[in-house]
Amino acid sequence: MASNTRTVAVGNLSKNQTYISIAIIGGLFFIFGFVSWVNAILIPYFKVACELNNFQSYLVAFAFYISYFIFSVPASYLLKAVGFKKGMMVGFWVMALGAFVFVPAAMGRTYEIFLLGLFMIGAGLAVLQTAANPYITILGPKESAAQRISIMGILNKGAGILAPLVFAAVILRVSDDEIMSQLPLMAEAERNLYLDELISRVIFPYTLVGLVLLILGFLVRISPLPEIDTESESEELAQSNAGKLTIFQFPHLILGAVAIFLHVGTQVIAIDTIMSYAISMDISMLQAKVFPSYTLAAMIAGYIFGIITIPRFFNQVNILRAFTSMGLIFTIGILLLEGDVRFLGLEADISIWFVVLLGLANSLVWAGIWPLALDGLGKFTKIGASLLIMGLCGNAILPMVYGYFADTMGLKEAYWVLIPCYLYLMYYAFQGHKIRTWR
């Protein structure tokens, strides 16, 4: 930590300071959600506007989340050098620069430049997430960490519900569905004219987003958020960690990072693929835009359940076991069940509602893994958190795997990739988090 920055031990924070800190971090999680989950509509949007196949369209998620893998460890060193607040300011400004990159990308309808912008937004988020997740984990008793993370999840996914709806309201028009259906029949010049106009609609909203992110970076720098001390250890913890030189000597952390990798991949597959899956059932894009919001709403329902019940009625380990098991059951439902049903004014194959239910199954997995993986790390907490954030590259890789099988096998059949993911998550919930030595 920078020598001129005063740090505070978590136990020395007043109740008022703790509440203010949680409120500020909650605002950050809302921003994370809005910027991240707009990808659910960017994928089908770019697929049309840039004339892509399924695999190419999921490069949106790949470009956005692979930056977590690349920048999470450097982010931990940045935070150690300059402190949480300055580091988060840098994160916001990198995100703003990524948003501004959308302007030249739209002017040339160049998909590769859009991917560069998304990569930069993800890089900024890697810094912010590396700071915010351990912050909220240690701001209070570890037994209720899942409860606090659930509150952050509500804010994150609440923003995620709004993001595709706001984006669709700004970008899409009622006439688009009819025009898009006629694209294969259009002459090349006419088609290009429409697609150029369609893609240019992102210029204003992303310019506005960039300006807002610049301002937020400045505001978080001057906020009353305290610099907390994550370097010191209790005498008992220092003795138990004696002789440990690297994070690779903490098996429960390494296994937890793999669990994060698989969990976030399943989460993004459930949210970012559901619009394309709905469109494959002859549901228009304007109607299909509600499905990511339904999935996120199911996640919020799970978070509310966690806030009410953890740790009062259930401990976070048993909740993790139950919800990972639900994920496996719902995935089997996607693959094996079929038949049209009418629900919430939409007629679709019943399997899509099991994709929606994956939102519920995924809701408390992140909240369960983080405190278990960071338990007992002491001075290794920052670098351990950065390793877990690196696991967010699962958001980049697993949707690509899904996209490949969607092109070769079919959209429904591609959901089989979730089966081994949930099996491993169940292993971590039941056994993996207990392992404290590789021997």
What pLDDT shows up at residue 238? Answer: 57
Flag the least confident range among 18-27, 100-109, 138-147, 361-370.
138-147
CA 38, chain centre distance (Å): 11
Q: pLDDT tens digit string along 293-326?
A: 888 889 888 988 888 888 788 888 899 999 999 9
pLDDT confidence of residue 3: 38
Between 419 and 248, where is the model more confident? 419
pLDDT tens digit sequence for 48-78: 888 888 788 878 878 888 888 888 788 878 8
Where residue 229 falls among pLDDT bands split at 50, 70, 90? low
In the predicted model, is pLDDT for residue 339 greater than 70?
yes
Are 225 and 85 within 8 A, CB to CB? yes
Q: Note whether 54 and 280 are within 8 A (CB).
A: no
Contact 310, 323 (CB under 8 A): no
- pLDDT value at 6 more than 60: no
Single-letter code of the amino acid located at 397: I
Torsional class of 345: left (φ above 0), alpha (ψ -120 to 50), beta (otherwise): left
Q: Go through the chain and tell me how many residues it has.
A: 439
Report the range of poorest mean pLDDT among 259-263, 328-332, 337-341: 337-341
What mean pLDDT comes out for the span 125-134?
A: 79
Pairing of the two strands 227-228 and 7-8: parallel
Helix H or strand E segment including 348: strand 346-349
Q: Is the pLDDT of residue 16 over 50?
A: yes
Residue-range domains of the chain with CATH:
11-225+247-434 (1.20.1250.20)
Q: Please give the model's pTM, rounded to 2 decimal places.
A: 0.72
Residue 230's pLDDT is 58
**Residue 205: band (very low, low, confident or very high) from pLDDT cuts 50, 70, 90:** confident
- Output the pLDDT for position 43: 77
Q: Are strands 346-349 and 340-343 parallel, antiparallel or unpaired?
A: antiparallel
Helices 203-222, 84-108: axis angle to 10 degrees equals 170
